[in-house]
Structure 1
Amino acid sequence: MSTSEPVLEIEDLHVRFTRRSGWRGRHVVDAVDGVSLTLHRGETLGLVGESGCGKSTLVRTVFGLNTPASGDIRILGTRLADLSALGQRRLRNRVQLVFQDPYSSLDPRLSVHDIVAEPLTIVGRYSKDRVVELLESVGIGAETLRRTPAQFSGGQRQRIGIARALALDPEVLVLDEPVSALDVSVQAQVINLLQDLQRERQLSYLFIAHDLSVVRHLSDRVAVMRQGRIVEIGERDQIFERPSHEYTRTLLAAIPIPDPHLRADAPPAPRPALTRTNRGTS
């Protein structure tokens, strides 16, 4: 387990929604039910669980888009609830989000320059050199500054999204299934880029994904979420090789195995057909 300083701490977080039930009835849904997580500097914490388990609600709460019923969120050791609205916005700049879908997360009307420049302009730190530096750090050349997202492939668009997320020099990137919308051949390139950026900038990643093979490749620790709760958290190898919770074992059992001969439910291999050379003579 990492002994470096924590950069993001979530303690006993509860997020509740009230929903209609029938014509007049209402009921309370615990979308996040007592979640506690700690992310350390330079670490990748994988967060896995089926759709609807509360991962997105948790992320939206970290970014201030949902109001928690109770619990604390600390960024770089500072409790968000102790700050003014302006102070919270400034501190949340230290945590940035890379979206799942590179096709819908970039404004199609803006040039690449304007997409990356926008956060810099908002905080009064714009310079063209900075925009070029950010794009080149993710493998996008300066000659593309005036192009729009439609002129780039999916992998290139995700690189542009990463450059935008890095604009304000964050400590933490929340990666919301950042490669799930990409071709397999492109996924490896983006994953390698993320690993290089993490080493260069000492970034911390909260990596949310359904693809457990990617989670195993990238993560130092893994948290398993079910029905709004963290049911298991531990070192990567412990989670994948010695899971303690039945739900974790169910998730791991559902990982597809490309080689059909290695699957537990695979039919026995067919026996070779008899030919003139291997038939008996009796």
Structure 2
Amino acid sequence: MSPVLGPTPAGAQPRDGGRERSALEASIDAIRAEGLTVEFTSRRGTRRQTLRAVDGVDLTLHQGETLALVGESGCGKSTLVRTIFGLNPIAAGQVSVFGQDVATATPRQRLAMRRRIQMVFQDPFSSLNPHLTAHEIIAEPLRINRVYSRERVTELFEQVGLTRDSFGKRPAEFSGGQRQRIGIARALALDPDVLVLDEPVSALDVSVQAQVLNLLADLQERLGLSYLFIAHDLSVIRHIATRVAVMQRGRIVELGTRDAVFTAPAHPYTSLLLGSVPVPDPHRRPAALATSPS
């Protein structure tokens, strides 16, 4: 079963209960990396080795779009995301969130940035505290920021398709898809502008993947969210992405619209990834998967 998704909105939509945006702020890119380089140093005996995990990356996430970051394990996707969140030192270049340079941000500015950009993790079980109820998990960021209200938690439950009778249940009592909905609700608690989605459906059954992808598309349209969608499954990417960035060995080797990348890949590595996508007809070329259902 494939999710039935329309085109991703090109621009941010009015947010229910969200902050008012000035025209100037609405024109600022959500995330921008310019010449971003991240290096790690290790020792082997007396020798020091430098690994360049992110190598001169230029990347922009526009407000209201879904940018898919695609690549095999070890290509640098996770390092790039951690750097966006300010968790890795930058060797060269810069990365900004809504115009604020991450490297030079003050603690107060960093806190404000982290409220505007939230993470949804790959494993919906290990990312949730098993000892807390669903209500407590979703309420936690609200309590930390002293903006808790039961009405807000109820609203978040309803936004992700959960009911109030789930308040007192713990993660083990939910299905995988329901647990991921809890993770999405928690990420939405502080009314962010950007969700970084780290393989959010890879641990789910195919039919459940479709439901979660449709939920994400609906939330994006209603709340004007921007998505940085990290994945290796191109059959998922073709349903949700506005643009696709292909990453290999720390570099962005191809960047373009979803349809352009799927129909006419410009880099051999992209062609290799497309060639690994399973198709029902063995005589059908994988690139024919480019046209997504409307």
Counterpart check, 1:17 vs 2:45: no
Q: 1:108 aligns with which of 130, 149, 171?
A: 130
Q: Could you list the runs of 5+ residues in structure 1 that have no partner in the other structure? A: 265-282
The separation in 2 between residues aligned to 1:88 and 1:184, in whole angstroms, is 37
Indicate if the aligned counterparts of 1:75 and 1:92 stay in contact, CA closer than 8 A: no
Indicate if the aligned counterparts of 1:14 and 1:70 stay in contact, CA closer than 8 A: yes
1:250 corresponds in structure 2 to 272
The separation in 1 between residues aligned to 2:92 and 2:282, in whole angstroms, is 48
Partner SS state of residue 60, structure 2: strand
Indicate if the aligned counterparts of 2:117 and 2:192 stay in contact, CA closer than 8 A: yes
Q: Deviations over 1:193-233 (max 9, x none)?
A: 00000000010000111110110110010000000000110
Larger deviation, residues 67-76 vs 113-122: 67-76
1:269 corresponds in structure 2 to none
Indicate if the aligned counterparts of 2:76 and 2:249 stay in contact, CA closer than 8 A: yes
Within-5 A mapping of 1:106-255? 106-255=128-277
| Count of aligned positions | 263
The separation in 2 between residues aligned to 1:176 and 1:221, in whole angstroms, is 16
Q: Deviations over 1:140-159 (max 9, x none)?
A: 11111111001000000000
Indicate if the aligned counterparts of 2:133 and 2:167 stay in contact, CA closer than 8 A: yes
Shift of 1:78: 2.1
Partner SS state of residue 155, structure 1: helix
Partner SS state of residue 93, structure 1: helix
Indicate if the aligned counterparts of 1:135 and 1:163 stay in contact, CA closer than 8 A: yes
The separation in 2 between residues aligned to 1:135 and 1:20, in whole angstroms, is 48
Q: Please give the TM-score of this superposition, normalised by the length of structure 1.
A: 0.89
Letter in 2 for 1:20: R
The separation in 2 between residues aligned to 1:258 and 1:52, in whole angstroms, is 29
The separation in 1 between residues aligned to 2:99 and 2:109, in whole angstroms, is 14
Shift of 1:80: 2.5
Q: Deviations over 1:59-105 (max 9, x none)?
A: 11111221212222221222233421222122121000000000100
2:92 corresponds in structure 1 to 70
Go from structure 1 to structure 2 and tell me whether the alpha carbon gap of 1:50 and 1:183 turns closer, same or farther (over 3 Å shift). same
1:279 corresponds in structure 2 to none
Indicate if the aligned counterparts of 2:70 and 2:246 stay in contact, CA closer than 8 A: yes
Partner SS state of residue 124, structure 1: coil
The separation in 1 between residues aligned to 2:239 and 2:207, in whole angstroms, is 16
The separation in 2 between residues aligned to 1:260 and 1:250, in whole angstroms, is 16
Give RMSD over aligned pairs. Answer: 1.7
1:40 corresponds in structure 2 to 62
Go from structure 1 to structure 2 and tell me whether the alpha carbon gap of 1:83 and 1:254 turns closer, same or farther (over 3 Å shift). same
Q: Could you list the runs of 5+ residues in structure 2 that have no partner in the other structure? A: 1-9, 12-25, 287-294
The separation in 2 between residues aligned to 1:222 and 1:56, in whole angstroms, is 16
Shift of 1:259: 3.4
Indicate if the aligned counterparts of 2:66 and 2:240 stay in contact, CA closer than 8 A: yes
The separation in 2 between residues aligned to 1:178 and 1:184, in whole angstroms, is 12
Q: Deviations over 1:11-36 (max 9, x none)?
A: 11111101233x33220000011111
State the structure with more CA Rg. Answer: 1
1:97 corresponds in structure 2 to 119
Shift of 1:261: 5.3
The separation in 2 between residues aligned to 1:101 and 1:37, in whole angstroms, is 26
Q: Taking every aligned residue pair, what percent have the same amino acid on both sides?
A: 60
Letter in 1 for 2:43: R
Q: Which runs of 4+ in 1 moved over 6 A?
A: none
Partner SS state of residue 243, structure 1: coil
The separation in 1 between residues aligned to 2:114 and 2:96, in whole angstroms, is 10
Indicate if the aligned counterparts of 1:45 and 1:219 stay in contact, CA closer than 8 A: yes
2:31 corresponds in structure 1 to 8
